Structure 1
Amino acid sequence: MSLTDKAIERIRELIRTGALLPGAKLPPEPELAAQLGLSRNLAREAVKALAVARVLEVRRGDGTYVTSLEPRLLFEGMGVAVELLQTDSAALLDLMEVRRLLEPAATGLAATRITDDQLAEVEHHLDAMREARDDVEQLNAHDAAFHRAVVAATGNDSLLTLLEGISGRTLRARIWRGLVDDQAAGRTLAEHEAIFMALSTRDAALSHAAALLHVTNTQQWLQEYVRSAEPPPSTTAGRPRRTTSNSH
């Protein structure tokens, strides 16, 4: 562990133990460094790193504070990381596998907790998807909003932030573009309708199954997309040479 990593860990420990609570102001840099037994430079680097991770907030002219530590802040970096993985085929498939594990369970949970107003919001985005079936950008926007509204109905902010980060706007856009190009928008719209109808009955098992079917079909499409994007193996001196390629 580098000295900077050790400095970061010491500040994290202060937060974990409650010595620094959400919203608390850190001591001035010289005092913080002395408290941690570090140089001012190391303390400064640790604060910068934790500010990037949204654990700390540096307010110019005021000082450094512990953030609210809410999931939406702490998981925010994951969404950025997912966007950076969009050219890695193996990573995309891994992310879809995680989504397949989490989203059906979240949808089943939502069925037991969703309110009439929340159900109306889901229906609103479904209607918008029907109206925008020939507009890929609008389809993508309302597709994401549809699933966000469903997961938000669980009341679990950590689950919502996690799934939003995994799905990724770029990945959703790519999937919708491929589906529309392949004239498959009707099928996936029907899958969203099935999810909504299951939620309307407040049936957890049926909602789980409808979401599982939808995510599984999307996962299978992505697997085929990745395979079709990979060039055939080239040969050298009559012997096959294995090549790798990222999806586009």
Structure 2
Amino acid sequence: MALTDDAIAKIKAMIVSGTWGPGDRLPPEHELGEQFGISRNSLREAVKALAFLGVLDVRHGGGTYVTSLEPDVLLTSLAFVTDMHDDRALGEMFHIRRVLQSHAAAEAARSATAEEVQALRDELKPVAELTDPAAYLAHGTRFHRLLCDISGNRYLTALVTSLIAQPLLEHVTLDPLHTSIVERTVAEHLAIVDAIAAADGAAAAALMAQHVDDVDYWVRQGEASGTTTL
């Protein structure tokens, strides 16, 4: 493991130094092994680990490349962590969502253009008609991603998107008995957009915090019946 860690550190150093940049192809395995003074087995394990982390892209028969290194690629492995959540971890993830998304809403209120506000409104138009859980979850993810995108912080967008999608998928079902929850969700989203349009950062942040708290509550209430919503 120590040799593998050493190989990971050396590959990382080459990328951080700019020797290899996004999209660059790494030298052949035997050349890297000689350059680093590391066995091929250790090098292969290092490459596998960095591929899992989204740093390298192994194309079988086509070589190994540095990925785009964009946040949404590098944070892909976060989905593995969220997949492994238990009830306590789910609550902790909602706490993180509350902090990040409140900040995102405040930033959006500060800098959103009329076009960006309209894009948020357009995303909300068909929501009330959605009855498929996957489609509804996709809407929620798109809405919050659009909102985070306004901040211009790519890591914020990637983190929030990762925290929203997979952890809730197993909890989300919709049926006619829960239309009131859907309606409340739509109303909360609209209120957030209205605050952003009014450039009221404090209100946007407070409304977003309340929305995330409500989702947290619905998830916990729905765990027994398996029914909740975004």
CA distance in 2 between counterparts of 1:25 and 1:137 reads 37
Per-residue deviation, 1:170: 5.0
Alignment length (residue pairs) = 225
> What SS does structure 2 have at the residue aligned with 1:184?
helix
Aligned to 2:112, which of 97, 114, 122? 114
User: For residues 123-156 of structure 1, what are the alpha-carbon distances to aligned partners after superposition, in whole Å with 9 as ceiling and x for unaligned?
Assistant: 0121111333x55444333222211111111121
For the 8 Å contact 1:8–1:46, the answer to whether it is kept is: yes
Give the structure 1 partner of residue 228 of structure 2: none
| Alignment-mate amino acid for residue 212 of structure 1 | A
Alignment of 1:185 onto 2:182: yes
Unaligned ranges ≥5, structure 1: 230-248
For the 8 Å contact 2:104–2:148, the answer to whether it is kept is: yes
| Alignment-mate amino acid for residue 50 of structure 1 | L
Aligned to 1:222, which of 216, 219, 222? 219
Q: Percent identity over the alignment?
A: 36
Distance 1:68 1:139, change over 3 A: closer
Distance 1:179 1:70, change over 3 A: farther
CA distance in 2 between counterparts of 1:204 and 1:151 reads 14
User: For residues 21-53 of structure 1, what are the alpha-carbon distances to aligned partners after superposition, in whole Å with 9 as ceiling and x for unaligned?
Assistant: 222221211110111110122112211221222
Unaligned ranges ≥5, structure 2: 226-230
Alignment of 1:68 onto 2:37: no
For the 8 Å contact 1:129–1:143, the answer to whether it is kept is: no
For the 8 Å contact 1:78–1:165, the answer to whether it is kept is: yes
Alignment of 1:1-248 (within 5 A): 2-85=2-85, 88-132=86-130, 134-169=131-166, 171=168, 174-175=171-172, 177=174, 181=178, 183-225=180-222
CA distance in 2 between counterparts of 1:120 and 1:176 reads 28
User: For residues 93-129 of structure 1, what are the alpha-carbon distances to aligned partners after superposition, in whole Å with 9 as ceiling and x for unaligned?
Assistant: 1111110111011111011222222211110121111
TM-score scaled by structure 1?
Answer: 0.80
> What SS does structure 2 have at the residue aligned with 1:174?
coil
Distance 1:64 1:136, change over 3 A: closer
> What SS does structure 2 have at the residue aligned with 1:11?
helix
> What SS does structure 2 have at the residue aligned with 1:57?
strand
Distance 1:34 1:172, change over 3 A: same
CA distance in 2 between counterparts of 1:80 and 1:10 reads 25
Distance 1:60 1:140, change over 3 A: closer
| Alignment-mate amino acid for residue 12 of structure 2 | R
> What SS does structure 1 have at the residue aligned with 2:126?
helix
Distance 1:172 1:42, change over 3 A: closer
For the 8 Å contact 2:117–2:197, the answer to whether it is kept is: yes
Per-residue deviation, 1:7: 1.7
Structure index of larger Rg: 1
